[in-house]
Structure 1
Amino acid sequence: MIAGSALLFAMATQAAPSGRQQIAGADWPGYGGGEGDTRYSPLAQIRQDNVASVGLVSQYDIDVGGSGLTAAVEHGGVVYFAIGQAVVHAVDPLTGTLLWKYDPEVGAVAGPEMRGAWGSRGMAYANGRVFVGTSDGRLIALDAKTGKLAWSAKTTEKGDGRYISGAPWVFKDKVVIGHGGADFAPVRGYVTAYDQKTGKQVWRFYTVPGNPAKGPDGAASDGAMAMAAKTWKGEWWKYGGGGTAWNAFSYDPKYNRLYIGTGNGTPWNQKIRSPGGGDNLFVCSIVAVDADTGKYIWHYQVNPGETWDYNAAHDMVLTDLMIGGRKRSVLLQAPKNGFFYVIDRETGKLISAETFAPQNWAQGIDKTTGRPIENPEARFPNGQVFTLFPSPYGAHGTPGMSFNPETGLVYLPAMFAGRAYVDPPSINGMTFVDGERFNTGIGIPPPVKMPPTSSALLAWNPTTQREIWRIPAAGMFAQGATATTAGKLVLQGHDDGRFTIRAADSGKLLWSFQAQASTTPQPITYLVKGRQYISIIAGGRVISARGVEQEWNYRTQRMQLLTFALGGKSKLPPPNTTVMPYLDDPALKIDTATAARGATDFADRCASCHGGAARSGGAAPDLPRSSIPMDADAFKAVLHDGVLTSRGMPRFAELSDAELEALRLYIRQRARELIAEQAKGTVKTQKGPDNGQ
């Protein structure tokens, strides 16, 4: 295990700003904000009547490569964030000064797990320490003042396919972490709680049952696993089962419970992993466990026997609502499947569920049983192709929603798209690296014409289960996470570079700032020296380019921590408007059959970072514009030998020379196609940001 390196800066600004007011909501210590994970701040210094005077206070230029889609946290006037491969930064937001930086050196030890763990989604602060997970499976605790390593715990086993990209959750004297990996390896999900001071494991809860022949797990989940095993068929454990808790948790101090949101089954297709059906607990579920012991209390499964990647690992909001004339302690979740759920926190029983986005997999949710009334055709029986809505990206992805107790509304980034599903013709010889094709027959054209993908910011009333207002946008990934405040504001970034503030009651645009890079990470707001500040990371890096709209150049866009306040006067320097041309070698002959094989491998291995159809929106280099695929030796050195792992580029040592050449020829073919489209005027080159509002 690599201990890492802390770069400590001896400067007067290393101490946190002093004179701070200690009031409720002054800090933003976790991924979901404060208690209840509402992403709501009670601060109201910035309001609808003065928000127009908000300006930039400082910017810190981030020089670490890799993904920037991460949520910052703040405590005591210091902003912390983990960028790229979990490189932790501590910054004074008043001046934009780096206080310390810690590099866990993930690239030196991470293997295939880097493919799914594109970077860190967030971190947490508690009791003088900051906590972060790494893609190679470590949970790390750092001293918040100095950045020195306090402890490091390996939460996974080497080569087991698990990785960490989600944020840790802190409560009382514990820190809890899950993991991902169920789309890439035969993984069985679990959640582990550690002592914040020592890093010693306190409890572990398995989210799906293991091989019954091996007996009990000797863990907090033993009794629950016996119950869950009755809902599986066949030899599911050979596939792992899935159910990974790769994203969100929520701690409930009222009941001293931790709520775990779990992911899809492994593989997606239930006919393969659990022939004969069954609910497959606790896949796609919200599971309540005792926070001290990890013992099972209740569960609610949003998709029994799930088969579409409709997981329930998305953010959960805890609050109180007046329902039926009495106050109810509720959990709110809008998972991928397009239904908005209101669940009783005490019992785990469904209160209500209504669609917030177009869906055709279910007629509705039975209010008595809490189970979906499924459309049988949605399980693509008898080899038929079914065009499913929402797509596996979901009607709500990882950008977090927020809840404002004053307006009573949830501010939800929603997505609208579909996908064709069908059983694969054969699973013989397929491996998990085949990704969705192993499970859904990816590449099958939909039998109906698909509408353009789009998205919207929805204001949703969870009490009445009705939409109040919406702000639509083109493109599926246009919406960033939201935060809301007592000033009746909604803060949100966008993939076109805008960072906006809207009226929480009406959705009216009150303020906008062009950040010169995607601003889809979570915005935060906090108080320092009696002044309210807002911070966001620009450079969130969109996955896929959208052609006629804004594209971001991975190599020239700035990645920055931006901080705003009333009266801020700072300005960003002019953007780098360098146009990166598509590259071609006219002498290269491309065999179309070989390139077609490369297209399949690209969809399986590369598109999640480099974009669909090899068009990146800035999450990774745009490969048709890169010189590396121009040279076969350089291409092999990157993909097969892993010379760029330190920059977040995974190694694919299993690829043969023939597979590498097929991938390379596909990228070269796409470059020629894009050059031709550009000549016809049907595709735009990369450009600087539109500074309009």
Structure 2
Amino acid sequence: MRFLLPLLLLLTACAPSDGVRRDGSDWPGYGGIDENHYSPLTEINDGNVGRLKLAWHHDIGGGGASLSAPIAVDGILYYASGYSVIHALDAATGRELWTYDPQSWKGAGQKMRAAWGVRGIAYDNGMVFTGTIDGRLIAINARTGHPVWSAQTIGKDDERYVTGAPWVFKGKVVIGHGGADFAPVRGYVTAYDQRTGKQLWRFYTVPGDPKLGFENKAMAMAARTWTGEWWKYGGGGTAWNAMAYDPQYNRIYIGVGNGSPWNRKIRSPGGGDNLFLCSIVALDADTGEYVWHYQTNPGETWDFNSAMDIELTRLKIGGKERDVLMHAPKNGFFYVIDRATGKLISARNIVPVNWASGIDIKSGRPIENPAARYPDGKPAIVYPSPFGAHNIEAMSFNPGTGLVYIPAMDQGRVYIDPAEPLQGWKHLDGQRISTGTGAPPPGVVPDRPATSFLLAWNPATQSEAWRVPMPGLRGGGGTATTAGNLLFQGNAAGKFVAYAADSGKPLWSFDAQTAVMAQPISYRARGRQYVTVIAGSRFPSAVGLAREWNYRTQQWRVLTFALDGKDRLPSVQPVETPVIDMPDFTVDPARAAVGAGVFGQRCSICHGANAVSGGMAPDLLQSGVPLDRASFEEVLRKGILRERGMPRFEELTDAEIEALQHYFRQRAREVLAAQAAAKPGAQTDRGLNEGQ
């Protein structure tokens, strides 16, 4: 921990109060003051946004978290970088006040292979709350940066981890976890006392072993919707992302994840709805007791989880005002649900889907296409893909326009049972896999290119208002909207854009010099409205953009804007990061093929498909580490770079490490040959400093 200002200054002019201003001056949690990623501030509006300029910027060292949302309370901005390293900045100037590092990488172990960063933090009662990859929930004194308490939310040698934001309300803080895609995990959420860190209640999202008894009536009910010995596979249902607190009904709504493994034929071979997978579950905020649920995908088998945004408002439907919950999960439909009862009001697909023809309003159940469940070993091309029509990039709702703004995608995936007998969890080359699906047959591919776009959707009429195409396969970042008729969104091409919220007309843009995928926030500090967003690319592979982002040359930053701001970003200085080859290295194609398999199972999630990085991690074709056997082993087996986010792979054999070396040299020569064949000057950095 390090402190950059005297404590006296922290305790006076920059000290946060225990309360939160509800007039839009503060943005205390992931969803803002109302869960809708909406600001009621109007100083910056559609009439003057052309005057919006960079007010200050703050360089992030040690790697960022590209989908992490900052918060702002009483003139202080808080954000997380790396593995939940929390920073406090003066929100008007960007001056750093304190930094707290929980050093979660020390206890994360193999969890670092599956997850990175943290998507959000929260403020309440003078404390900042964060989860960590090693499963802790930490309360930090917002004035001083000192930890107040730390609670371990998972068990010893548990394979769960925390990357989602905490939710705070009524002296409580609630946290979920991830892990079901990589281990036999049973999901739950836990509430803690904000003052002491004492556990208050826990709600499991799927039932456990019946022989051990059920925790409550809800689990007994849910167990009747499972078959076989599901508990041996964990079941899944992790609440790893979105929730929402509803003060009107004193409820916390939980967005529940997919099954573990994905393929229902494995975890629940006799069928069944598998509650509460892919559901919104309403709990009593005081006791954690079950109130109601709505399941978007009964018996899900495609990774169509419902862990995406949950937004709350009142809509006039059929001439009557109703309290509603709005939800756009992965499966391609937009749902409007009655908050009082949990009953479906309306649902309509926001992208073309083929797994269902619609949602039956009376029963609330999807009208499924049986072929989409890849029966009898037959492949199925299913839309959407596991990336979803909407993923974790935040959507937002503007009560003034009545529109919801969704970072949307249209892409498909081929599903098929694995070639070997369905046997549940297994290890592939030492890496546990969770899908329970197989490789697609040759020539079976989605029938249209993947696209992405910003979609404005009218939830009252279930109709599209407008859309803006986005660059790349997953090109649109999280959104935030304001009462000034503005919608802010960054994109994969490096632009941060303000649109007219009612029409979608682009009104202003800023070149961030790297991708902007995190959700923005807006707040007031020293009487002035600001807009802040975190910039930095963590794409797991190069996505064919005109400007692909390089891990070694991009600069992660906090960018803050205000009317007539005076700051500028430094000019981009060209840096050569060439692909490296060893001319005297003789590639063995057989060993390279083995290396490709090892890379695909262990490395590609961060270093990119086909060993071409897109900013998430270093491009290994440009790295000298794999060239030196001793250095390579130090990184892989001993984990000397764990603090910087590189996991340890102690189980790799000598033959596998050598195979990786052959694979990298083979790919390096392929890339170099392609570069030589390409026309010179095909891609340039023209316009990098535009709009500053």
Q: Which category of TM-score, normalised to the shorter sequence, fits these structures?
A: over 0.9
Aligned-pair CA distance for 1:358:
1.8
**Cα distance in 2 for residues equivalent to 1:360 and 1:664:** 42
**Cα distance in 1 for residues equivalent to 2:281 and 2:587:** 52
Instruction: Spell out the pairing of 1:81-120 with structure 2 (5 A cutoff).
Output: 81-120=79-118
Aligned-pair CA distance for 1:620:
1.1
Percentage of matched positions with identical amino acids: 57
Aligned-pair CA distance for 1:673:
1.5
Q: Which deviations, in whole Å up to 9, do the C-alpha atoms of 1:452-488 show, x marking residues without a partner?
A: 2220000100011111100002312211000000000
Residues 445 and 437 (structure 1 numbering): CA distance in 2 closer, same or farther, change over 3 Å?
Answer: farther
Deviates most, 538-547 or 412-421: 538-547
Please state if 1:259 is matched with 2:253: yes
Aligned-pair CA distance for 1:386:
1.0
Q: Which deviations, in whole Å up to 9, do the C-alpha atoms of 1:72-125 show, x marking residues without a partner?
A: 000001110111110000011322210000000112221111122211111001
Please state if 1:603 is matched with 2:597: no
1:373 paired residue among 361, 367, 378: 367
Q: Which deviations, in whole Å up to 9, do the C-alpha atoms of 1:306-355 show, x marking residues without a partner?
A: 11111000111011100011011111111101001111111111111111
Aligned-pair CA distance for 1:443:
5.5
Residue 649 (structure 1) aligns with: 646
Stretches of structure 1 lacking an aligned partner (at least 5 in a row): none
Q: Which deviations, in whole Å up to 9, do the C-alpha atoms of 1:593-634 show, x marking residues without a partner?
A: 332333233233222222222222111111211112222332
**Cα distance in 2 for residues equivalent to 1:470 and 1:260:** 29
Residue 162 (structure 1) aligns with: 160
**Cα distance in 1 for residues equivalent to 2:573 and 2:440:** 37
Give the partner amino acid of 2:654: D
Residue 277 (structure 2) aligns with: 283
Aligned-pair CA distance for 1:642:
1.1
Residue 272 (structure 1) aligns with: 266
Residues 19 and 621 (structure 1 numbering): CA distance in 2 closer, same or farther, change over 3 Å?
Answer: closer
Q: How many residues align?
A: 684
Aligned-pair CA distance for 1:688:
7.7
State the secondary structure of the residue aligned to 2:540.
Answer: strand
Please state if 1:620 is matched with 2:620: no
**Cα distance in 2 for residues equivalent to 1:686 and 1:600:** 34
1:577 paired residue among 574, 578, 582: 574
State the secondary structure of the residue aligned to 2:108.
Answer: coil
Q: Which deviations, in whole Å up to 9, do the C-alpha atoms of 1:258-307 show, x marking residues without a partner?
A: 00001110011111111111111111111001001100111111111111
Please state if 1:356 is matched with 2:350: yes
Residue 589 (structure 2) aligns with: 592
8 Å contact kept, 1:385–1:446: no
Please state if 1:344 is matched with 2:338: yes
Instruction: Spell out the pairing of 1:186-585 with structure 2 (5 A cutoff).
Output: 186-217=184-215, 222-426=216-420, 430-431=426-427, 434=431, 438-442=435-439, 444-445=441-442, 447-448=444-445, 450-585=447-582
Aligned-pair CA distance for 1:649:
1.2
Deviates most, 256-265 or 154-163: 154-163
**Cα distance in 2 for residues equivalent to 1:138 and 1:378:** 39
Q: Which deviations, in whole Å up to 9, do the C-alpha atoms of 1:394-424 show, x marking residues without a partner?
A: 1111100000001000011001211111100
Q: Which deviations, in whole Å up to 9, do the C-alpha atoms of 1:484-518 show, x marking residues without a partner?
A: 00000001111111111010011111000001111
Give the partner amino acid of 2:354: N
**Cα distance in 2 for residues equivalent to 1:23 and 1:134:** 28
8 Å contact kept, 1:437–1:443: no
Instruction: Tell me the C-alpha RMSD between the 2 structures.
Output: 2.1
Aligned-pair CA distance for 1:7:
4.0
State the secondary structure of the residue aligned to 2:532.
Answer: strand
**Cα distance in 2 for residues equivalent to 1:164 and 1:10:** 33
8 Å contact kept, 1:17–1:529: no
Q: Which deviations, in whole Å up to 9, do the C-alpha atoms of 1:211-236 show, x marking residues without a partner?
A: 1111234xxxx211111111111111
8 Å contact kept, 2:416–2:440: no
State the secondary structure of the residue aligned to 2:436.
Answer: helix
Aligned-pair CA distance for 1:442:
3.5
Residue 183 (structure 2) aligns with: 185
State the secondary structure of the residue aligned to 1:596.
Answer: helix
State the secondary structure of the residue aligned to 1:602.
Answer: helix
1:55 paired residue among 53, 56, 61: 53
Q: Which deviations, in whole Å up to 9, do the C-alpha atoms of 1:549-600 show, x marking residues without a partner?
A: 2211112211111111011021111123213111111222223233233323
Residue 633 (structure 1) aligns with: 630
Residues 538 and 438 (structure 1 numbering): CA distance in 2 closer, same or farther, change over 3 Å?
Answer: closer
Deviates most, 386-395 or 8-17: 8-17
Residues 242 and 319 (structure 1 numbering): CA distance in 2 closer, same or farther, change over 3 Å?
Answer: same
Deviates most, 631-640 or 202-211: 631-640
State the secondary structure of the residue aligned to 1:624.
Answer: helix
**Cα distance in 1 for residues equivalent to 2:293 and 2:323:** 16
Residues 548 and 491 (structure 1 numbering): CA distance in 2 closer, same or farther, change over 3 Å?
Answer: closer
Please state if 1:681 is matched with 2:675: no
**Cα distance in 1 for residues equivalent to 2:328 and 2:554:** 32
Instruction: Spell out the pairing of 1:118-129 with structure 2 (5 A cutoff).
Output: 118-129=116-127
Q: Normalization by structure 1: what TM-score? A: 0.95
8 Å contact kept, 1:183–1:435: no
**Cα distance in 2 for residues equivalent to 1:450 and 1:649:** 36
**Cα distance in 2 for residues equivalent to 1:596 and 1:690:** 39
8 Å contact kept, 2:60–2:557: yes
2:668 paired residue among 667, 671, 678: 671
**Cα distance in 2 for residues equivalent to 1:45 and 1:653:** 55
Q: Which deviations, in whole Å up to 9, do the C-alpha atoms of 1:434-455 show, x marking residues without a partner?
A: 5667522145445245432220
Give the partner amino acid of 1:268: W
**Cα distance in 2 for residues equivalent to 1:453 and 1:691:** 30
Deviates most, 387-396 or 450-459: 450-459
**Cα distance in 2 for residues equivalent to 1:690 and 1:611:** 24
8 Å contact kept, 2:480–2:520: yes
State the secondary structure of the residue aligned to 1:277.
Answer: coil
Aligned-pair CA distance for 1:540:
4.1
8 Å contact kept, 1:402–1:484: yes
Give the partner amino acid of 1:431: H
Residues 494 and 548 (structure 1 numbering): CA distance in 2 closer, same or farther, change over 3 Å?
Answer: closer
